[in-house]
Structure 1
Amino acid sequence: MLTIHGVTRSRASRVVWLCHELGLPFRQVPVIQAYRLGNPQAPGAALNTRSPAFLALSPAGTIPVIEDDGLVLSESLACTLYLARKHGGPLAPADADEDALMLQWSLYAATTIEPESLTIQMLHRPGQSQPAENATLVADAAERLVRPMKVLEDRLSRHTHLVGDRFTVADLNVAEILRYAQGYGALMQQFPAVQAWLSACQTRDGFRQMWAAREAEAP
C-alpha cells in the first residue's frame, strides 16, 4: 500500500487530495514540521522532520515523502505527477503533449506563484491587527503575483481547466499552491476566472475529504 509521510497540514495535502480523487488507498504517517515544535529533538517529541527515523528516509528533512512499491519519492509535485501517471484515468496525461503541459503548469505555479503566495499566507491576518511592516510585505507580494495571475486568468477565461478541458493533476497542483493566497481579496478579486476555477476545484469531493482530514489535525 502507498505510504504518505507527512501531516495533511503541509504540502502532503496535495498527495492526499490526489489519492482521494483516484480512489487510491494509502497509509499516512503523521510526520510534523520540526519548526512547529519547541524542541523537536527532545525525548518523547512527536515524529518530525528532524527525527532520526525520518531523516534516514529523507535526508532533506522535508515532507511529504511517499513510499510506493519500493520507490521512495520526495517533493510534493513529483509525487502527484508520478501517481497520476502511474494510475491513469482522466487526471493523468493522455499523451506526451498533455504530460508536458501538466509539468509546465505545475512548475510555473511552484516557481512564480508559490513563494509570494506563502508570504501572503504567513503574514495576512484578515480582521486582525497586524504590524504595518507585515501589511506592506503582503501588498508587495500580491503586486508581484499580478503578472503570473494574469497568465492564469487568460488561460482560464478561455478554458474550463488548465489542460485538456478537464480536471487533471495540473489543476490540483496549481490550486493547492494558489490556495495560500486565496484569502487576500485585493488580489483575487482582480481575476474572476481564476476565482471561479479555484472554487470549482475546491468543491470536488476529493478536496473536501482532504480538507476534512486537514481540519481534524492539530493546528
Structure 2
Amino acid sequence: MLTIYGVYRSRASRNYWMAGELGIPFVSVPVIQGYRLDDPAAADAPLNTLSPEFLKVNPAGLIPCIDDGGFVMNESLAINLYLARKHGGPLSGQTITEEAEMLQWTMWAATEVEPHAVKIVLTMDRNGAESEEGRMTIRAATKALKKAFALLDNRLAATGHVVGDRFTVADLNLAEVFRYAMSQTELFDAAPNVKAWLAACQARPAFKTMFETRTKEAQ
C-alpha cells in the first residue's frame, strides 16, 4: 500500500493527483510544514516536518514523502516519475526516448520554471502584491518566465501534450508547476497553447478530486 505524507496544500498535491490518475489505493498521512507553526515542538502541535515521528520516516524533514511498501523517497516530481514507471499505462513512457523526454521536461520545469513561479504564488499568498516590494518581485518573476512560456507554447503546438500525443506524467508535473503562475494572466494570454493545455489538465477528474480536497483542507 502506498502511503503519502503531506498535506494537500503543499507539493504533495502533485502526488495525490498522480495516485488518482493511476487509480491506485493510498493512505494519506497529513504532515504540515513546520514553518507554518508557532511552535512545531509543542506537545499539542500537529504532525509536522519537524516532528520526531516524521523524521524517523524521512530524516530530510521534507514533504511530500512516500512509503511504498518499505521504499521511502521524497521530491514530488521524482515521486511521480517513479509511480508512472512502476504502474505503467498511458501516463508512463512507452519507449526509452519517451522516458528520457519526461525526465528532461520535468527537470526543466523544476530548474527553469518553478524557482520563478513559486515566487509569484508565495507573494500572492502573503498578500505581498499590495506592497511595492511584492509587485517588483512578481514583475521580475513574470519577466523571467516569458521565455519558458514561449518554449512550452511551441512544444504544445503539435499535439497539445508535452510528450507524445497523450496526457502523461510530464503533463501532470509541468501543469502543477505552471499552476503557480496562474495569477499572471498576461503570461497565458501570450501563450494560448499553454493556456488551453493547462485548462485541459485541470479539467481531468483526478485533478478536480485532488483540488476539491485541497480547497477544503484547513489553511
Same fold (TM over 0.5): yes
Q: Which residue of 1 aligns with 2:89?
A: 89
State the alpha-carbon separation in 2 of the partners of residues 129 and 19 from structure 1: 34
* Superposed CA offset, 1:154-183 (max 9, x none): 101222101111000000000001101111
Do residues 132 (structure 1) and 132 (structure 2) align? yes
Whether 1:18 and 2:18 are equivalent positions in the alignment is yes
Contact 2:49 2:61 in 1 (8 A): yes
Kept in 1: contact 2:6–2:63 (CA 8 A): yes
Unaligned runs of 5+ in 2: none
What fraction of aligned residue pairs are identical, expressed as a percent?
50
TM-score normalised by structure 1 residue count: 0.96
**Pair 1:27 & 2:27 matched:** yes
Residue 29 and residue 154 in structure 1: after superposition, are their counterparts in 2 closer, same or farther (change >3 A)? Answer: same
Q: Deviations over 1:98-155 (max 9, x none)?
A: 0000001111000000011011101137x99701111011001000011111110110
Give yes or no for contact 1:4–1:28 (8 Å, CA) kept in 2: yes
Match in the other structure for 2:76 = 76
Q: Do the aligned residues in 2 keep the contact of 1:3 with 1:67 (CA within 8 Å)?
A: yes
How many angstroms apart in 1 are the aligned matches of 2:30 and 2:48?
Answer: 8
- Paired residue for 1:60? 60
Quick one: which amino acid aligns to residue 142 of structure 2? Answer: A
Give the CA deviation at 1:41. 0.8
Structure 1: which 5+ residue stretches go unaligned? none
What's the C-alpha RMSD, in Å, of the aligned pairs?
1.4
Contact 2:54–2:61 at 8 Å: present in 1 too?
Answer: yes
| 2:128–2:134 contact (8 Å) kept in structure 1 | no
- Please state whether the residue corresponding to 1:195 is helix, strand or coil: helix
In structure 2, the partner of 1:45 is 45
